[in-house]
Structure 1
């Protein structure tokens, strides 16, 4: 894909989510939207440089356009990780400056780096030196005692100076003292207007807004406010059909496809067969499919059938077909 493919796709993206957005999840999401930009889980730079890079970086080619998110704060190690990752052909490599987990703080990366924009700029430059793939940043509006109205423009100014032309901002502060990672996703108040103002102030940066966006209607509303892109996290995971099935038509103006959630479930069967043939287990894939029929009659039966059956030894596609009966009997 050409270099700006990810920028074009970033009009709507699915957020990097630890333990959720693995390759199986992304394959499912790609069946629903050909256009949306998909992000990997965050992979730490040391995991790439000192671990099993193939395990962390391999993906199905069908997942493009695809962005890799890396965590770290050592420019040298990030450069090395970027050099390795670039060989895998990602459409974007993103630096995490937003994750509030304890693991992240102890490793000095993620949201804590909002306090060190000059260091982040050095990291970005070191990564850019290794590849022509675009290096982007995902951040918060600030951390702890910072005033976001001062911290965020200062951070974005440093990113612009480092050559960053695309960034995603989660519209909440991260409280590294006193809130758990889970609480940091909900408790700090959202400040969408601040990000709208940043878009006006930093017109040279392609800005995506993230945080608390639960529907495609809300995504369209942010785009109407002048945002370049919208990143959806938990809603894209828990209610994927609602977010992704109509995204290509509504967000990108593509010709509408009338694919249904039922058709997506059937389309997953060859992928599941291939996974099982390599010794994989059914529940490694179906755990990402639990919300496929969220909000629809029979959704509870679908979810229960997968939860109770998919983990068993020898479970195969027949589990999917039995689970589908709970949905189709209501649709008849």
Structure 2
């Protein structure tokens, strides 16, 4: 271990060594991820995983109902939308052969699916208090990336003993690590840029600047290996947007375009609902006066960023600018006249 390290920066060998080994086996970074806190952290009392009365967390940090509800809402959303995955995979294949009926029907089902997921998201307000989330739950999800304001300028040192170890700055768990939402983006052809000053669907194809990986691409490293490989496969299979953009004016193609834009608009509205939730659970609590007696990763990282544009999410992004950019990029995909 490096000399002169502050104890609060160091993960000791008794924790870091087994954590690193388990992470390698799971094909995940050694930090709390969305999969660990949500997908692998629930039990059921009924057959319907999308029914919030049937699912319960196995482990929580705080022991509060607020935390359990926060995790289980995400599980229910994943379960509710699971049926759409094979439907949309078939639709992508059908687009290659010009099978309008299959694609249009799938897009209508996807629209309804996203609406149902959005309704579940809005149930977060029922049993998860914003103050409890921000001050008690969020610190455990904070990660170590972009956390200099919270006292982790270099991240965390993973001490492996015998003088071995390394610094890591890792994103915390966030719903941005959900492979489901990225799947929707991919099949609909929604592209996301790494910066907020570019528009993917209208940028010049002759640009000599090499594109940088977007957050959405980078965050796949925080997904389970099978999920990551599935998304890469779908990404290289094609998107329905390419089919919808064909310069045709037949009645079938007009129906296809309408179904496509309706689905994209619904996904954009879902992201708007998420922005409203983030405002209530993170932005507003961060603007309240923080006691100097009690500081944690959530409150400390909010200091110096009292305006909502400077807040950092648990995934290591500038919170509201990133979410608004993602929403706007989704809406932009509905412009089928863009090159």
After TM superposition, the score normalised by the length of structure 1 is 0.24
Higher helix share: 2
Structure showing greater radius of gyration is: 2
Q: Which has more strand, going by share of residues?
A: 1
